[in-house]
Structures are given as C-alpha cells and as structure tokens.
C-alpha cells in the first residue's frame, strides 16, 4: 500500500481517475455471461464508436495500450512483409521491435523528434514500398508531445492500397480524431489516458478492409490473447467472450465513456485545448523552451519542455512531488534527463490543475537554480486563457 499517493497526477498516463469512475470500478462483480453484463458491454462499444467517430467494429483487448499495437501487427502481417512506421518519436523504435518480433520488415519514417513526421517522407516510403502490408502512424507522440497529421498520412497510404493503423493511445478523447473520415483501418486507444480509467483495457476499431485482410492471412492469428479474430468469432457472432473479461475495468470504462459523451466531445476537446494553451504559455513564462519546434504542432493532452542546463528531470519531479504533492513526468530513452512533461489529460485537464502545477514547477525550478520571476508562469497562463 502506498502510504502517501500524489495529491494530483499531472502525468501522461496513468492519469487522474474521477470519483464517478472509481465508484463504478467498485461495483459488485457479476458473471460476464449474464445478460445485464452483455447489455452494458454492447452499450459501451456503441459509446466507444461515438468517441472514435467510427461505424467500424470496436474490439476491447485486456491489457495496456501496447497490446493493441502488437495485436494489429500480429493480426495483419505475414512473415517477411514490410510495415511502414510513420513516427519520429521514441515509440516508432518500439514499434520497429514489435514488427521484427513478428518476423516483419520495418521501414521507419521519421527524422527530428521535435518536428512532425513529414508527409513527403511518408509518400516517398509508400512509393518505394508499394508491397507493404501495413502502415502504422502515431497521432500524438507521448514523449515529445508532437501531433502528426495522420489524416493526410493515412489517406496517402489508402490511395496506394496499403491498410493503416494509428496509435492514438494518448490523444483519443482528448483532441479530435476522426477514424472513418481519416481512412484509419485500425485505430488504437487505451483506458489510462484521456478516457481517465485505470490501466487495463485497450480499444481497437477495426474496418471491414482490415477484417478481410486479417481473415485472409495464410495462417490467421487465432487462439491467442493478441487475436482480434477471436473476438470477431465470439463476441460479434455469438455475444460471448474468448476469455474472461476484466469485469470491473469494463464497468469503469463504460462509466468514463458516458461521462465524456454527457460533457460533449467538442466541450472535452475545448477543455483540453484551454488547459494546453495555459500550460504552454506558463512554461514559456518561466523562460523555458517547449520541446516542439512549432507550437501549432504541440499536443493538447500534454506539454513537454526542455530542462535548463544542470537540472535533471528526476530532481525536479521529486521536488515537485515531495513539496507540492503533484506528480509530473520526465523524459524517456534518448530524452531522459533532457525534458519534463506536464500531463493535462482527461479528468485532470482543468485550468486550476494546470495553475497549481505551474506554481509547483516554478517554485522548485527556481530552488534548483533556474532564474525566473516569481509568478510569471501563472501570469502567462492566465493571459493565454483570457486571449
């Protein structure tokens, strides 16, 4: 048992979970074969379709978001087939490893992690690899906080007959995503980001084109925890499950979807955007540089900033947590020690939470030696809201 958990989680995932969702999580567990559970599950899938903006089937996998990426790769490709990965962030390299582990050939497209993945580079890769079995793009780079133009990337891929998968794990339900309009065959989200649930469930929308390709593999992936096809053969045909679902997590996800739709997607997106503008302006008010080179390519679900020389992310994170009870994030892989991250996702994406976090960071970064005027971060944040 953690004796003193953070008072406020301003991380990128897991994020704050609302009291409403926590109450749902604590409901009495019923058997997953009961009609009342299958009714709740069916309604939850319809709500997920509304959030994903899709008419495609929704498959819920029982595991953290990366299971959705691996399931998409494993279900779609044959050994020796190429997968184009459109990502300049650290997760692009992780996806490369997943492709290789399933005996595929990764083609990584991406250069500078401070910039969007260039469409021209993606087009070149598509034209040079017209036999590719899949293109995977990342919507929001969860470490660098860059948003890529996946609508243009996926349309170019579909023009060439190459199916598309998008990692929208950190952005779905936090900023606009249009699965069908953007020609996304497999759209991957997860519970612990903007859906504001505990980690445990991953959601994948699957188009008819994707189902056709999945079922026509020489050896379709079956009898596996990664199998999308197993869910199609059980839930969609018979309303039963290939394995015991995480009943309590389903309760929580169902309630989270209801809360989002009651607020209204446009209102949810606006709340995230206002919070993001305040965070970005507040960071700049401290005299710090945002990691994205172009502000208009920065995500609305988190803010990434470059640390001053001589200040480590671990020292800043621990000081903010110990003295203010607020948990923020640091760098990862090649960005470890170079950046810090403020998550303003889901239930935590409010102006008051952003202001409290900026005050905490400004206070502690000054103690660690960075020179900035007291109160400048909040002044800049509030000015951005007024503007």
pLDDT above 70: percentage of residues in the chain: 98
CA 290 to chain CA centroid, Å, is: 20
Q: What integer best gives the mean pLDDT of the chain?
A: 95
- So what's the pLDDT on residue 93? 83
Q: What average pLDDT score do residues 122-127 get?
A: 98
Look at residue 306 and tell me whether its pLDDT is greater than 90.
yes
Residues 238, 246, 193, 88: is their CA dihedral positive or negative? negative
Provide the pLDDT for residue 94. 86
Q: Name the nearest CA neighbour of 165 among 137, 123, 203.
A: 137
Residue 3: band (very low, low, confident or very high) from pLDDT cuts 50, 70, 90: low
Per residue in 276-297, pLDDT tens?
999 999 999 999 999 999 999 9
User: What average pLDDT does the segment 121-137 reach?
Assistant: 97
Residue 207 burial by Cβ neighbours in a 10 Å radius (0-12, 13-18, 19+) = buried
Q: What is the pLDDT of residues 71-118, one digit of tens each?
A: 999 999 999 999 999 998 777 888 999 999 999 999 999 878 899 999
Q: Are 73 and 133 in contact (CB under 8 A)?
A: no
Could you give the percent of the chain with pLDDT greater than 90? Answer: 92
Highest mean pLDDT pick, 93-97, 229-233, 256-260: 256-260
Q: 3-state SS of the chain: helix, strand, coil percent to 5? A: 45, 15, 40
Judge contact between 250 and 226, C-beta under 8 A.
no
Q: Domain 19-261, what architecture?
A: 3-Layer(aba) Sandwich (3.40)
How far is the C-alpha of 151 from the C-alpha of 160, rounded, in Å?
15
pLDDT at residue 1, as a whole number: 46
Q: How many residues does the chain have?
A: 387
Q: What pairing do the DSSP bridges indicate for beta strands 302-306 and 339-343?
A: antiparallel
Among residues 114, 123, 113, 115, the alpha carbon closest in space to that of 152 is found at: 123
Domain ranges of the chain: 8-12+265-386, 19-261
Q: What is the mean pLDDT of residues 167-195?
A: 97
Q: Which CATH number fits domain 8-12+265-386: 3.40.1440.10, 3.90.1150.10, 3.30.70.890, 3.30.70.1170?
A: 3.90.1150.10
Determine if the peptide bond prior to 262 is cis (ω within 30°).
no
pLDDT at residue 302 tops 60 = yes
Taking phi first (over 0 means left), then psi (-120 to 50 degrees means alpha), and beta for anything else, what does residue 264 get? left
Does pLDDT of 387 surpass 70? no
DSSP string, 38-50: HHHHHHHHHHHHH
Reading the block at residue 319, the tokens are 């000081």
Q: Which of 340, 331, 349, 290 is nearest to 89 (CA)?
A: 331
User: What average pLDDT does this structure show over 50-57?
Assistant: 98
């Amino acid at each position: 048992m953690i004796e003193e958990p953070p008072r406020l989680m301003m991380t990128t995932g897991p994020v704050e979970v609302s009291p409403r969702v926590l109450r749902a999580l604590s409901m009495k567990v019923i058997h997953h074969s009961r009609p009342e559970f299958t009714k709740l599950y069916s309604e939850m899938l319809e709500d997920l379709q509304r959030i994903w903006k899709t008419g495609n089937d929704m498959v819920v996998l029982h595991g953290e978001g990366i299971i959705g990426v691996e399931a998409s790769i494993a279900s779609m490709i044959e050994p020796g087939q190429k997968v184009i990965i459109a990502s300049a962030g650290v997760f692009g390299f992780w996806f490369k490893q997943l492709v290789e582990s399933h005996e595929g050939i990764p083609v990584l497209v991406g250069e500078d992690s401070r910039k969007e993945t260039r469409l021209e580079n993606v087009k070149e890769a598509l034209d040079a690899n017209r036999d590719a079995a899949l293109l995977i793009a990342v919507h929001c780079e969860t470490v660098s906080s860059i948003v890529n133009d996946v609508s243009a990337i996926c349309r170019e891929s579909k023009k060439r007959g190459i199916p598309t998968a998008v990692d929208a794990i950190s952005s779905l339900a936090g900023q606009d995503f249009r699965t069908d309009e953007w020609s996304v065959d497999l759209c991957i989200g997860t519970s612990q980001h903007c859906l504001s649930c505990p980690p445990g469930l991953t959601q994948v929308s699957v188009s008819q084109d994707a189902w056709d390709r999945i079922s026509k593999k020489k050896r379709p992936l079956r009898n596996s925890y990664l199998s999308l096809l197993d869910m199609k053969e059980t839930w969609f045909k018979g309303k039963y499950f290939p394995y015991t679902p995480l009943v309590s997590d389903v309760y929580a996800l169902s309630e989270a979807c209801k809360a989002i739709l009651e607020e209204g997607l446009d209102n949810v997106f606006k709340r995230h955007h206002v919070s993001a503008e305040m965070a970005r302006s507040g960071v700049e008010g401290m005299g710090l540089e945002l990691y994205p080179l172009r502000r208009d390519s920065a995500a609305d679900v988190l803010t990434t900033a470059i640390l001053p020389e001589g200040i480590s992310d671990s020292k800043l994170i621990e000081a903010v947590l110990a003295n203010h009870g607020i948990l923020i994030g640091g760098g990862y892989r090649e960005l470890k020690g170079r950046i810090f991250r403020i998550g303003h996702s889901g239930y935590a994406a409010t102006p008051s939470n952003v202001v409290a976090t900026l005050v905490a960071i400004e206070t502690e970064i000054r103690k660690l030696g960075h020179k900035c005027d007291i109160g400048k971060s909040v002044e800049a944040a509030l000015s951005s809201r007024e503007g």
